[in-house]
Amino acid sequence: MNGKKIHFALVTLDGTKFAEDVYEIVLPTPDGYIGILPHHIPLVSLASTGMISVRRNAGDRDDQMELFATNGGAIEILDNVVRVLVDEADHEADINEQEAQKAMDHAKALQASATDQVSIEKAQEDIDRQAVRLQVAGLRRRKRR
């Protein structure tokens, strides 16, 4: 392993979404976003619904970072290997902004018509997921300009 890189594996229920050596990863946790660089201390944490940002090389600008929308899971950091296990992860290129907006509108309508706490919470989880997908799609759109 190159001492200036860390191996990042993003694994979903559908399989591995990303597995490469990178310079930096920014991950969502219950306590906020954390940045992971080479030689990070060992850590096990929950991953929150949010955006994962990946900087492949030390000199890459912020607008060159690769983005993923995720809905929470688990993080393990050990010996320059970062594993993030999540139910779902959407790469920025795979997100259709119009479809995400439709899904957001649908989730909000479900929440508005929900009559029990479980339905309200499920709708809120989907709203949170779609909000992250829309955030990632918006950043991708701005990067292409």
Q: Which of 2, 47, 45 is nearest to 23 (CA)?
A: 2
Burial of 21 (0-12, 13-18, 19+ CB in 10 A): middle
pLDDT of 1 higher than 70: no
Mean pLDDT of 19-37: 96
pLDDT of 2 higher than 70: no
CB 124 within 8 A of CB 90: no
Q: Which of 45, 52, 44, 54 is nearest to 21 (CA)?
A: 54
Per-residue pLDDT of 91-145, as tens digits, reads 999 999 999 999 999 999 999 999 999 999 999 999 999 999 999 999 888 877 6
In the prediction, which pLDDT does 8 show? 98
Per-residue pLDDT of 47-79, as tens digits, reads 999 999 999 999 999 989 999 999 989 999 999
Q: Which residue has the tokens 């690769």?
A: 66
In the prediction, which pLDDT does 72 show? 87
CB atoms within 10 A of CB 11: 17
